[in-house]
Amino acid sequence: MMTLFYKNRLAKHQKHMMRYMKYVLNDHFLLVMIIALGGFGLYYSDFIKTLDQDFSLGRVVVFILLLGILFVGKIATLLKEPDMIFLLPKERQMTSYMKKAFQHSVWLPFILIVLVSGITMPLLVATSSLEFNDFYPIVLNLWLLKLVHLLIQLQSFYLDTKKTIQSQTVLFIVASLLSIGLNLYFNPWSGMIVSFLCLGFSFMMTKKSLASHPLDWEKAINFERKRMKKIYSFINLFTDVPGLSSDIKRRVYMDPWLNRIKKEQGQTFTYLYARVFLRGTEYSGLVIRLTVIGSFLLFFSNQLILNGIISALFIYLIGFQLLPIYNEFDYMLMTFLYPVEKEQKVKAVEKLIKIILSVVITIFSVLLLVRLQDKVGALTIVGILIAEGIVFTKLYAPKRLKKLEKSLI
């Protein structure tokens, strides 16, 4: 019965998440991903050609990546706060529910393990005696270790398991270090001996915990809430998620920048938008992330045309993602009563976007001039970026903001 209940809840959850996918997998995001993957693939291919087996750092990098991927992915229990009350009479049957949640949660980490292992295999083959056929035992070994990690998570949802969880976590880390080390430095199949032993022990402990300990409803629900918050935070970069609020931070060190804005009627919205950007994490975090990703791609690429496309695209994306800040104060009735002209809102947003894009263009320009050997070409791209910033703030942004204003009327 509880197995069917989980299936029904999972179906509703997936239907709910698909509503957001059309916003996440939009044309802008797909275009960025295609260019980013293309740039990374080109650089990675050229980098691999320069390596040989004397490059011992290669296996160290892969070791760290494979170890880190084990900690990505959590059990999707899909529990909600009302379950603490309404499902309490079914607590003894919740074991089958949790088992189904575990079975569902093993596949996404497996896909991620396959992708990361596939990406790192050329580096391993180029810097060690391993072959591409060794991909299969490495993936299988990592999946076994990930199952152990998920079983430990499952046990943590039950009362009086803290000491057991701590000891198993230490065992999991030691087993992972040893198993992956054997995979990469000794024999690709040898690491699975350690993984199988660790999985067998973890399976027995999980079976014991589920049979003899009551479910810690509060902990399990909080775990699921935190998991979903991370997912919604990512989706919130593309569209508004109801009920998700961004964090507000004081950031005293930003006060000198705010104090430079004159305290006068004509600067009302300039101050408000600047304060939202500097104190909130939604827009500032978005700008920082896109700037870091764009800078990373520019730094590791020395292709003139590719760098020009990447920099121009990221300038557009940063500006485009900042446009919704225009509606940030629409919920405040007092802003409609301010003796301030509506045109000030548009000008304030334009000014904010202009300043932010100027900073980003400066960062990109420095990277272009440093990385590209063709300085004339680099200066040409810088000129194009400056022109793009001007066109975006003076022509494109005002039209988009007017559409946002009309949608509110």
Predicted pLDDT at 22: 76
Question: Is residue 350 domain-resident?
Answer: yes
Domain span at residue 68 reads 2-235
Last residue of a domain, one of 168, 201, 235: 235
Do 268 and 164 fall within a single domain? no
Based on C-alpha coordinates, what's the Rg of the chain?
26
Least confident of 6-20, 180-194, 292-306: 292-306
Predicted pLDDT at 103: 93
Question: Is residue 9 domain-resident?
Answer: yes
Do 264 and 380 fall within a single domain? yes
How long is the chain? 409
Question: Is residue 60 domain-resident?
Answer: yes
In this prediction, residues 140-148 reach a mean pLDDT of: 95
Do 197 and 62 fall within a single domain? yes
Do 61 and 198 fall within a single domain? yes
Last residue of a domain, one of 172, 200, 235: 235
pLDDT of 244 > 70? The answer is: no
pLDDT band at 249 (very low <50, low <70, confident <90, very high): low
Predicted pLDDT at 106: 93
In this prediction, residues 177-181 reach a mean pLDDT of: 94
Predicted pLDDT at 250: 63
Do 264 and 220 fall within a single domain? no
Least confident of 38-52, 103-117, 352-366: 38-52
Q: What angle do CA 116, 118, 119 make, to 5 degrees?
A: 65
Do 179 and 304 fall within a single domain? no
pLDDT band at 406 (very low <50, low <70, confident <90, very high): low
Spacing of C-alpha 61 from chain mean position: 21
Assign 215 to helix, strand or coil. strand
What CA–CA distance (Å, rounded) separates 409 from 403? Answer: 10
Last residue of a domain, one of 205, 235, 265: 235
Compare 383 and 267 and report the one with higher pLDDT. Answer: 383
Compare 371 and 198 and report the one with higher pLDDT. Answer: 198
What CA–CA distance (Å, rounded) separates 258 from 274? Answer: 7
Do 60 and 201 fall within a single domain? yes
Do 68 and 142 fall within a single domain? yes
The number of domains in the chain is 2
Do 225 and 100 fall within a single domain? yes
Do 198 and 288 fall within a single domain? no
pLDDT band at 400 (very low <50, low <70, confident <90, very high): confident
Predicted pLDDT at 140: 95
Predicted pLDDT at 343: 72
Do 67 and 108 fall within a single domain? yes
In this prediction, residues 37-41 reach a mean pLDDT of: 77
What CA–CA distance (Å, rounded) separates 115 from 346? Answer: 44
Predicted pLDDT at 282: 72
Structural tokens at position 58: 């290669």
Contact 198, 175 (CB under 8 A): yes
Structural tokens at position 37: 């993957």
Do 116 and 231 fall within a single domain? yes
Question: Is residue 119 domain-resident?
Answer: yes
Question: Is residue 360 domain-resident?
Answer: yes
Predicted pLDDT at 55: 80
pLDDT band at 246 (very low <50, low <70, confident <90, very high): low
φ/ψ (deg, to 5) at 155? -65, -30
Least confident of 135-139, 204-208, 223-227, 276-280: 276-280
CB atoms under 10 Å from CB of 361, counted, come to 18
Question: Is residue 244 domain-resident?
Answer: no
Question: Is residue 401 domain-resident?
Answer: yes
Question: Is residue 241 domain-resident?
Answer: no
Predicted pLDDT at 159: 85
Mean pLDDT of the chain, nearest integer: 85
Least confident of 18-22, 57-61, 243-247: 243-247
Model-level pTM? 0.73
Structural tokens at position 215: 């479910």
Can you give the three-state secondary structure of 341-354, one letter per residue? Answer: CCHHHHHHHHHHHH
